[in-house]
Chain A
Amino acid sequence: MSYCRQEGKDRIIFVTKEDHETPSNAELIADDPNDPYEEQGLILPNGEINWNCPCLGGMASGPCGTQFKEAFSCFHYSKEEVKGSECIDNFRNMQECMQRYPELYPQEEDNESSSQAESNTGAPSATSAPNSDSTLADAASESAPSSASTPPTDSQTAS
């Protein structure tokens, strides 16, 4: 049984699980998916890639950022039957670049990092493969808020 108490200006309510079972009648304002102020996911409303998405970690901003951007863009806009098949050169450049910085882009994760980046959703949740965390986290991590995991604009994954 829930009960309520007032201590000066502070109110304290204790609730049981049953009390909270009925759905909430609190009203929230609908979000505008095109709100320019909001943090965007990986893909912007206009279809472009959001290079500043925290989900990418530092991939687009590190020493191999340019190569990464080229490869990923090519892939994203690819209309081929096998998506990205014409982007082999870009990916090779990226891989070569990354091999020069093993500290930043751990070698054994190389294949993972490129594929993860493509298929990554906007908000890495705890349940996402630990690998992505390690590549993104170890390779280039910082604490940056990713877009909140629930915004509607969130990710269309690239593939």
Chain B
Amino acid sequence: MLTCKTVWRKLAPLARASSTVCRQNVGRAGLNNVRRPAGSPVAHMSTGPAGGGGDNRLYVLLVGAACLGGGVYAYQTVKGDKQRYQERLSEIASRPNKAAAEQPDTFIQLEAPAVPSTETQEAQISETPVSASAKESSPPAPADEVSAPSETTEPPPAAEPVVEAPTEEPAEQPAVPVVEDEPSPPSDPSPPELTEPPPAPVVESVESESTAAAESPAAETPAPQAEVVAESETPAAGTAPSPAKIPSHAPYLLIGGGTASFAAARSIRARDPGARVLIVTEESDLPYMRPPLSKELWFSDDPSVTDTLRFKQWNGKERSIYFQPPSFYISPEDLNSIENGGVAVLTGKKVMHMDVRGNKVQLEDSTEISYDKCLIATGGVPRNLQVIERAGEEVMKKTTLFRKIDDFKALDKVSRNLKSITIIGGGFLGSELACALGRRSADSGLEVIQMFPEKGNMGKVLPEYLSNWTTEKVKREGVKILSEALVKNVTHKDDKVEIQLKDGRVVKTDHIVAAVGLEPNVDLAKSAGLEVDSDFGGYRVNAELQARSNIWVAGDAACFYDIRLGRRRVEHHDHAVVSGRLAGENMTGASKPYWHQSMFWSDLGPDVGYEAIGIVDSSLPTVGVFAKATAKDTPKAATEKSGTGIRSESETEAVATSPVATSPAASPTPAPPAQQQKEDYGKGVIFYLRDKVVVGIILWNVFNRMPIARKIIKDGEEHADLNEVAKLFNIHDD
């Protein structure tokens, strides 16, 4: 209030001056508008300015009212805040009582960070009711019940004892066991950890004991570790055992639970005997591979594929998309005690804050985990179109951003029940999904539309002639293609989604799949003080994938320096594997730069399959060398002939590739022996050049020659005649 007064005093003369001017203007206007009988005197005191008593009073009244109103409002708000705060705290305090009453097993946790870097007393509470029979881990419900932020340093009301210390040293017993937690007997056959908060409103506790019989492996866990107990349940196939105790320290901490992270974990374990690796992921699934989600899984004959998530590889053998079954992993609470170390996965936990100086991270629920070496492999989040985001909730409900297992399940369901799906985006993901859904459309009458701004599918990757040719192939898969389509507006009408394009075309559909790119996840850059690349996005790291002394980044989120090809960021599966492995090697002391060039591949229907390596950008000049094709040259034909998987098995142990080997009758007979067109790009090699040096190569329907391609790029030589280079590939052979 005092400041208000001083400000007002300063401004008052100004205000008066300006109001005077206003009044004068008003007066003049008034004067002008008033009809005067001709000849009568000009001065009209009633409407005159300056000194007009009535106006002055009016003015004072208005200003006074405004001030009063403002003052009242401010007072109310402040009072209301205080009251709300009190209410909140008491509500939280009473929650454990309610929860305890509802369920036999509950338990909670939390501790305020001892580190004074943040507010000293931050009370947080979260509860995680353990449902006895729930199959799924329940991070959604519990995880974020919340924080009642203390607004200032003022200690929370007396009712809530403040608690401290997550001790990072196992040796140190929490000195303030604020709450006695009585372990209650496990009510599940599967041994969960249970603690039951006492009726006292005290809610925070530092948990140390693991309940007795519950965990036999845990029996060897030294109790003093200040570990946070969350919950544990029997894992469903593929879903991780819900986070159990969260270790307070992990020698190797991997943030993100995708391909890069898993590759790094494996690399670390191979090189550092007995290594203890902790993967922290916000997804609820164990590490899995993504390519089958838009390819093989759609071609599976198994009706329960959405549950089993198994697919057939090129060589006919089946495997799960999960890299390893749950038994491969150890439980997080055993991480620091188990004899030979292992890999533990903490699912449903998001890392919110990274303290580089202190070598630790903080999760959403404020748990802290310190590390010796850390890998950030957070991948990315699918981009969305602004027009869709602005279109409202109805449209958003009918839009899928495809990336995870859940998205696959949802889209599968949608494709069985709805009549029309539109895919926006003509790149890898969009085209693969279009082909997969297009194939389904043959049986079900589903309408599949694909729209994109480029002239043809893969327009940013393939040279124009090839992109056009590919688009024709995709159309043959049953997809309606709308090229050069820019979305102007999306609305929800008559229970359908209506897409208006800039050129006037209108598309009515039931569901949209937006495949318009990936936004790398750099949420931790701010708190960790890591550099973010402005050209490519992602964390900027050096050629050895290192961001800071003990921090590496791999996978989609890493913008790294490629010694041969320059700085770039790659969003492909094999790159995630290669960079993850490299990061793991470097985390165990290798100091190797990114050197082994990663490759990628795509299949668009039974006639088009290609593998590629390096920088494959359609804006570069290209030289394509094609063989005059015969009927034998398709991925499908190749598989059938050899009877084994040949898709660059040398590249990966179990490459998830391949269109279905058995093609349904829907597609026309495999490429007839005579060429349909004069130019049929059946198979060949395409070189991408930058300053006359080959920086990228596509092997078009030519398989198992990736090592040669890799060599050519590695050499980085200027070749005068690329036809001679093409000879190295023996494209005419099978």
Which A positions have Cβ atoms within 8 angstroms of B? 7-17, 19-20, 22-29, 31, 36-39, 51-52, 54-58, 60-63, 65-66, 69, 101, 103-104, 123-127, 130, 133-134, 136-138, 140-146, 148-151
- Our pick among A9, A37, A61, A63 for the contact of B592 (Cβ within 8 Å) is A37
What chain A residues lie within 8 Å of B710 (beta carbons)?
148
Option from A7, A17, A140 in Cβ contact (under 8 Å) with B328: A140
Task: Please state if B273 and A13 are interface contacts (CB–CB under 8 Å).
Answer: no
**B316-371: which residues lie under 8 A (CB-CB) from chain A?**
317, 319, 323-325, 327-328, 330, 340, 342-343
* In the complex with contacts A15-B627, A145-B574, A124-B650 CB distance below 8 A: yes
- List residues of chain A with CB within 8 A of the CB of B463: 7, 10
> Are the CB atoms of A54 and B653 closer together than 8 Å?
yes
Contact assessment for B715 and A126 in the assembled complex, using a CB-CB cutoff below 8 Å:
no
How far is the CB of B675 from the nearest CB of chain A, in Å? 11
B654, A150: Cβ atoms closer than 8 Å? no
Write out the residue numbers on chain A whose beta carbons fall within 8 Å of the beta carbon of B536.
none
Confirm or deny: B477 has a beta carbon within 8 angstroms of a beta carbon on chain A: no
B475 touches A (CB below 8 Å): no
* Residues in B whose Cβ lies below 8 Å from that of A57: 653
Question: B719 at the A/B interface (Cβ < 8 Å)?
Answer: yes
Q: Are A144 and B723 in contact (CB under 8 A)?
A: no
A contact residues around B266 at 8 Å (CB): 52, 58, 61, 142, 144
A60→B622 CA distance, assembly (Å): 43
Residues B465 and A141 in contact, CB atoms below 8 Å apart:
no
Given the known interface contacts A20-B727, A29-B717, A54-B653, the answer about A144 and B577 at a Cβ–Cβ threshold of 8 Å is yes
Q: Say yes or no: is B482 at the interface (Cβ < 8 Å to chain A).
A: no
- Please tell me if B651 contacts chain A, counting CB pairs below 8 Å: yes
Contacting residues, chain B, for A12 (C-beta < 8 A): 465, 623-624, 626, 679
Bound Cα distance A10, B468 (Å): 14
Q: Is B216 part of the binding interface, using a Cβ–Cβ cutoff of 8 Å?
A: no
Chain B stretch 563-596: residues in CB contact (< 8 A) with chain A: 573-574, 577-578, 581, 584-585, 592-593, 595-596
- Which residues of the partner chain B approach A143 to less than 8 Å between Cβ atoms? 259, 289, 573-574, 577, 652-656
Asked whether B550 is an interface residue with its Cβ less than 8 Å from the other chain, the reply is no
Q: Which A residues touch B715, using CB under 8 A?
A: 28-29
Which chain B residues border A16 with CB–CB below 8 Å? 627-628
**Complex Cα distance A9/B623, Å?**
9
Contacts of B343 in A (CB 8 A): 61
A26 x B725 contact (CB < 8 A): yes
A7-B465, A24-B724, A52-B270 are known contacts. Are A126 and B653 too (CB-CB below 8 A)?
no
The interface residues of chain A lying within 8 Å CB-to-CB of B578 are: 144-145
Main secondary structure on A side of the interface with B: loop
Q: How far is the CA of A16 from the CA of B465 in the complex (A)?
A: 20
Q: Is B732 positioned at the interface, with any CB of A under 8 Å from its CB?
A: yes
A143 to B581, CA, bound (A): 11
Q: Closest CB-CB distance, B142 to chain A, in whole Å?
A: 29
Contacting pair A20 B730 (CB below 8 A)? yes
Q: Is B423 an interface residue (CB 8 A)?
A: no
For A148, give its contact among B268, B707, B712 (CB under 8 Å): B707
B646 at the interface (CB under 8 A from A): yes
Measured between beta carbons, the chain B residues less than 8 angstroms from A15 are: 625-628, 723, 726, 731
The answer to whether A14 touches B596 (Cβ under 8 A) is no
Q: How far is it, in angstroms, between the C-alpha of A24 and the C-alpha of B724 when the chains are bound? A: 5
Q: Which of B266, B269, B463, B578 has the largest number of chain A CB atoms within 10 A?
A: B266
Cα(A57)–Cα(B267), bound, Å: 11
User: B325 contacts which of A26, A104, A137 (Cβ < 8 Å)?
Assistant: A104
Within 8 A of A (CB), among B50-90: none
Query: For residue B319, which residues in chain A have a CB less than 8 angstroms away from its CB?
Result: 137-138, 141
8 Å CB contacts to A: which residues of B255-276? 259, 262-263, 265-271, 273-274
Q: Give the 9 A-B CB pairs with smallest separation, nearest first.
A: A61-B269, A24-B727, A148-B707, A149-B650, A37-B595, A143-B652, A51-B270, A10-B463, A9-B621
B598 within 8 A of A: yes
Residues of chain B contacted by A8 (CB below 8 angstroms): 464
The answer to whether A103 and B325 have CB atoms under 8 Å apart is: yes
B401 to A: closest C-beta gap in Å? 24
Does any Cβ of A come within 8 Å of B3's Cβ? no
Question: Is B270's CB under 8 angstroms from A146's CB?
Answer: no
Q: Is A124 a contact partner of B581 (Cβ separation < 8 A)?
A: no
B328 with A58: CB separation less than 8 A = yes
> Nearest Cβ in chain A — how far from B150, in angstroms?
44
Which single member of A11, A66, A103, A127 contacts B644 (CB below 8 Å)?
A: A127
Q: Tell me whether B723 and A7 are in contact (CB under 8 A).
A: no
Partner of A28, one of B263, B323, B712: B712
Instruction: Report yes or no: A11 in contact with B622, Cβ–Cβ below 8 A.
Output: yes
Which residues of chain A are within 8 angstroms of B265 by Cβ–Cβ distance? 61
B726 touches A20 (CB 8 A): yes
| Interface: B152 (CB within 8 A) | no
Q: Which residues in chain B, 276-328, are within 8 Å of chain A measured between CB atoms?
A: 289, 313, 315, 317, 319, 323-325, 327-328
Q: Looking across the interface, which residue of chain B has its beta carbon closest to that of A19?
A: B723
CB pair A142 B707 closer than 8 Å: no
* Residues of chain A with a CB closer than 8 A to B724's CB: 24-26
A146 & B573 in contact (Cβ 8 Å cutoff): no
Measured between beta carbons, the chain A residues less than 8 angstroms from B562 are: none
Judge if B381 is at the interface, Cβ distance under 8 Å: no
Cβ A144 vs Cβ B707 within 8 A: no
Counting CB contacts under 8 A, is B642 at the interface? yes
